[in-house]
């Protein structure tokens, strides 16, 4: 296994294993981060990105793999948390040889890590990687894969939002509420359809004119505003960030008029402490990694041989998990983001510990 200079001691971050992979001929430089296998093999996607430095790539993989451990734990999966990064510009260096070299490194971990798609990698890439390793999900339907994960991501966000609505207004429905959807991409579109079906009023925004055309044509009743700033400041009951990370920041949180935040975007909290500002303003934040777990539930199901109905049932349970987190937050007097972390850590410790019971 190739090694290029490691700059950080993985032991100091709590990770089980960090593997540096290099194949000079194909140009592959990858880092696979395994945060925890307490609940099972680590699962998390491969990000293919032109990082400015090796330090930046390493910091990202350490951060992302830890996040996956928490997400998978609360999704109720028998899977630990891992993630990988390939350092390079996918437009310039992605090739069959590079992806297959990467697949061989994944295979060499003998099932401690399962990969999937992330930023810069697609279903077609997973099919190529699968020619070298069985430890890959997110493949195309023709190759036994689950296909588009945004369908169950949106379904799960909707379930989490229902639980938050129940906590705040007493009933598990968005009927009669105004929901602001920021980002009408793959997830935002499906979420909008669920909300309308439930009887909610939807106001939305997107920077892509094609997304706006789509909503005008398919759901003309959806109100449109110019940008996220206008959406946040408008008279909405629920804010659903479905575009990029960092949606909850020092500009948006003070301006927010919604009582609930529940959306698909990853890493919505721009910095530590912002969850406290939300709580102090009386805004209930349904933690992003809890409500957007439908996608990982979908790809994880592929490991057993994909069954949409079974995966949908698991994604529906995001409603119960969100309820439990909100109750725990109230009981322990902490923001929901802190309660979610505690619940995930509890499951990793309690269920992970069972492996110390010897079977033979
Ligand atoms: N697709 C999944 O299964 C999945 C799973 C978990 C989390 N997520 C997260 O959910 C979010 C949405 O994912 P997606 O698959 O729908 O992505 P996507 O790229 O299909 O959609 C994102 C949409 O946001 C819009 N957008 C970008 N910047 C914007 C801005 N400043 N204001 C308004 N709109 C803006 C884009 O034009 C696009 O239409 C991402 O943060 C993603 O990481 C997705």
- Residue 245: pLDDT band (50, 70, 90) is confident
Give the DSSP letter string of 257-289: --SEE--S-SS-BSSTTHHHHHHHTT-EE--HH
In a 13 Å sphere around the CA of 66, the CA atoms on its Cβ side amount to: 14
β-pairing, 260-261 vs 284-285, is parallel
Q: How many CB atoms lie within 10 A of CB 7?
A: 11
pLDDT digits (tens, 9 = 90+) for 183-238: 999 999 999 999 999 999 999 999 999 999 999 999 999 999 999 999 999 999 99
Ligand 1 test: best mutation among 60, 160, 181, 186, most atoms within 8 Å of CB?
186
**Any ligand 1 atom below 6 A from CB of 263:** no
Nearest in space to 296 (alpha carbons), one of 158, 146, 182: 146
Q: What is the mean pLDDT of residues 322-341?
A: 97
- Cα 160 from Cα 167, distance rounded (Å): 11
Structure tokens of 265? 């975007």
What's the average model confidence in pLDDT over 38-61? 96
DSSP state of 337: H
Q: How many whole angstroms from 300 Cα to the centroid of ligand 1?
A: 21
Per-residue model confidence (pLDDT) at position 9: 57
What pTM, to 2 d.p., does this model score? 0.92
Nearest CA to ligand 1 atom 1: 150
CA–centroid distance, 233 to ligand 1, in Å, is 21
As a whole number, the mean pLDDT across the chain is 94
Q: What's residue 2's pLDDT? A: 32
pLDDT in tens, 278-311: 999 999 999 999 999 999 999 999 999 999 999 9
Q: For ligand 1, is residue 298 a contact (CB within 6 Å)?
A: no
CA 256 to centroid of ligand 1, rounded, Å: 20
Say whether pLDDT at 11 is over 70: no
DSSP assignment of 187-222 equals: HHHHHHHHHHHTT-EEEEE-S-HHHHHHHHHH-TTS
> How many Å lie between the centroid of ligand 1 and the Cα of residue 243?
4
Asked whether the beta carbons of 243 and 204 are under 8 A apart, the reply is: no
Q: Is the pLDDT of residue 355 over 70?
A: yes
Residue 297 Cβ inside 6 Å of ligand 1? The answer reads no
Q: Is 252 in the pocket of ligand 1 (CB under 6 A)?
A: no
Torsion, CA 24, CA 62, CA 10, CA 249, rounded to 10: 140
12 pLDDT tier (thresholds 50, 70, 90)? confident
What's residue 244's pLDDT? Answer: 86
- Counting from 1 in the atom list of ligand 1, the atom nearest the Cα of 298 is 3
Give 352: exposed, middle or buried? Use CB within 10 Å, 0-12, 13-18, 19+.
Answer: middle
The reported pLDDT for the residue numbered 233 is 96
Among the listed residues 144, 100, 147, 106, the one whose alpha carbon sits nearest the alpha carbon of residue 123: 147
**Which of 62, 131, 61 is CA-nearest to residue 100?**
131
Among the listed residues 181, 33, 23, 174, the one whose alpha carbon sits nearest the alpha carbon of residue 102: 23
Q: Is 315 in the pocket of ligand 1 (CB under 6 A)?
A: no
Partner residues linked to 36 by β-bridges: 81
Instruction: Indicate whether 3 pLDDT > 80.
Output: no
Q: DSSP character for 342?
A: H
Per residue in 100-159, pLDDT (tens digit) is 999 999 999 999 999 999 989 999 999 999 999 999 999 999 998 988 899 999 999 999
Burial level of 358, CB count in 10 A (0-12/13-18/19+)?
exposed
Exposure on the CB side of residue 293, measured as CA atoms within 13 A: 35
Q: Is the CB of 265 under 6 A from ligand 1?
A: yes
Which of 187, 290, 318 for mutating ligand 1's site (highest number of atoms within 8 Å of CB)? 187
């Amino acid at each position: 296994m190739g090694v290029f200079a490691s700059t950080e001691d993985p032991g100091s971050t709590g990770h089980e294993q960090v593997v540096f992979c290099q194949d000079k001929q194909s140009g592959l430089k990858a880092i696979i981060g395994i945060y925890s296998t307490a609940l099972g093999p680590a699962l998390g996607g491969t990000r293919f990105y032109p990082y400015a430095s090796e330090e930046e790539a390493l910091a990202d993989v350490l951060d992302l793999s830890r996040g996956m451990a928490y997400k998978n734990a609360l999704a109720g999966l028998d899977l630990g948390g891992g993630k990988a990064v390939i350092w390079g510009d996918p437009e310039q260096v992605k090739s069959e040889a590079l992806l297959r070299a990467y697949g061989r490194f994944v295979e060499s971990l003998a099932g401690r890590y399962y990969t999937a798609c992330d930023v810069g990698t697609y279903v077609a890439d997973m099919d190529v990687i699968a020619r070298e390793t069985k430890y890959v999900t997110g493949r195309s339907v023709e190759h036994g894969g689950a296909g588009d994960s945004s369908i169950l991501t949106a379904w799960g966000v909707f379930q989490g939002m229902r639980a938050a609505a129940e906590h705040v207004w007493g009933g598990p429905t968005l009927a009669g509420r105004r929901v602001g959807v920021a980002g009408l991409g793959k997830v935002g579109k499906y979420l909008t359809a669920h909300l309308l079906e439930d009887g909610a009023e939807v106001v939305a925004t997107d920077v892509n004119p094609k997304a706006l055309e789509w909503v005008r044509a398919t759901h003309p009743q959806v109100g449109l505003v110019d940008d996220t700033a206008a959406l946040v400041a408008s008279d909405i009951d629920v804010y659903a960030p479905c575009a990029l990370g960092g949606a909850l920041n020092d500009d948006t949180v003070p301006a927010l008029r919604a009582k609930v935040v529940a959306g698909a975007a990853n890493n919505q909290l721009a910095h530590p402490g912002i969850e406290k500002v939300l709580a102090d303003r009386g805004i209930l934040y349904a933690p992003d990694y809890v409500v957007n777990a439908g996608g990982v539930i979908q790809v994880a199901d592929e490991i057993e041989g994909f069954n949409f109905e079974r995966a949908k049932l698991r994604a529906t349970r995001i409603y119960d998990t969100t309820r439990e987190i909100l109750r725990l937050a109230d009981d322990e007097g902490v923001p929901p983001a802190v309660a979610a972390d505690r619940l995930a850590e509890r499951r990793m410790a309690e269920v992970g510990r069972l492996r110390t019971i010897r079977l033979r």
